[in-house]
């Protein structure tokens, strides 16, 4: 198993962009687990499945052919031959992904997939980010971080990313998603042994440096 850095945090905490940059600077692999839940939600919708119906969602796991691109300059994801990198960021997918992610069989299936990706990574280390990485997917990782930021800052950052959406609309969706996701896993409080990095007062570069600092301390 490579050196695993587990990063959890709520929506809009910056964990994807920060983790991706940390991985780039350290020449580590990177795994965005939320992208896989999003891709499964996309696959369910593309298959005409009602994402609120758990049994139907489970039935499309067998045909879920999830692939991560090898382009070192970006992180692309595919379902079968279809590149869904952009499509999985659509607000429609954000609105239904929690319903897909709360199904226990979906979680078991994806956790297994994540562990096999981690074991096969072609680098000395891998940054894995999501909601349950520090507690369920890789609880024995040598570095475990909870990346947080105040709700106001998270909403502001997310609405800046989604051009054309108001802070209020983005905030509403973010709150709804965090509330739904929190019923499944606790990613708002750090579990025992998990280091909290609060980026409320930090800019992007400072947050990247703070995470690298935690990794260097443990390495
Ligand atoms: O990280 P991101 O916001 O892209 O995650 C999308 C969704 O995937 C979350 O809202 C959550 O429902 C689900 N998720 C999860 N466990 C993870 C990562 C994401 O349940 N480890």
DSSP string, 123-182: SSEEEEEESSIIIIISTT-SEEEEEE--HHHHHHHHHHHSTT--HHHHHHHHHHHHHHHH
How far, in Å, CA of 73 to CA of 24, rounded?
9
Which domain CATH number covers 127?
A: 3.40.50.300
Tokens 């800052």 label which residue? 153
- State the distance from the centre of ligand 1 to the C-alpha of 33, rounded, in angstroms: 7
How far, in Å, CA of 116 to CA of 211, rounded?
25
Residue 219, pLDDT score: 81
SS3 call for 120? helix
Counting the structural domains of the chain, the total is 1
Residue 144, pLDDT score: 98
Per-residue confidence in pLDDT tens, the chain, 219 aa: 789 999 999 988 989 999 999 999 999 999 999 999 999 999 999 999 999 999 999 999 999 999 998 765 678 999 999 999 999 999 899 999 999 999 999 999 999 999 999 999 988 999 999 999 999 999 999 999 999 999 999 988 888 777 677 788 888 888 999 999 999 999 989 999 999 999 999 999 999 999 999 999 998
Q: Cβ(10) to ligand 1 under 6 A? A: no
Residue 122, pLDDT score: 87
How far, in Å, CA of 165 to CA of 125, rounded?
36
Q: In terms of residue numbers, what domain contains 53?
A: 3-218
Residues 6+ apart with CB under 8 A from 120: none
Atom number, ligand 1, closest to the C-alpha of residue 102: 20
Q: Cβ(132) to ligand 1 under 6 A? A: yes
Pairing of strands 82-83, 77-79: antiparallel
Establish whether this prediction's ipTM goes over 0.85.
Answer: yes
């Amino acid at each position: 198993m490579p050196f695993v850095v587990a990063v959890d945090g709520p929506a809009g905490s910056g964990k994807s962009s920060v983790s991706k940059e940390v991985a780039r600077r350290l020449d580590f692999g990177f795994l965005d687990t939320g992208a896989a839940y999003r891709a499964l939600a996309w696959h369910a919708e593309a298959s005409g499945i009602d994402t609120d119906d758990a049994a139907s969602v489970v039935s499309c796991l067998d045909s879920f052919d999830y692939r991560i691109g090898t382009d070192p300059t970006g992180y692309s994801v595919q379902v079968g031959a279809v590149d869904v990198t952009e499509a999985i960021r659509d607000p429609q997918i954000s609105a239904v992904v929690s319903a897909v992610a709360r199904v226990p069989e979906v979680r078991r299936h994806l956790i297994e997939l994540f562990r096999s990706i981690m074991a096969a990574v072609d680098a000395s280390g891998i940054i894995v980010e999501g909601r349950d990485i520090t507690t369920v997917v890789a609880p024995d990782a040598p570095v475990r971080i909870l990346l947080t930021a105040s709700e106001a800052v998270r909403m502001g950052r997310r609405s800046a990313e989604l051009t054309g959406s108001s802070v209020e609309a983005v905030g509403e969706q973010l709150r709804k998603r965090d509330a739904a996701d929190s019923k499944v896993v606790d990613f708002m409080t750090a579990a025992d042994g998990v280091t909290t990095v609060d980026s409320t007062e930090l800019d992007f570069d400072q947050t990247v440096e703070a995470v690298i600092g935690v990794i260097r301390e443990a390495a």
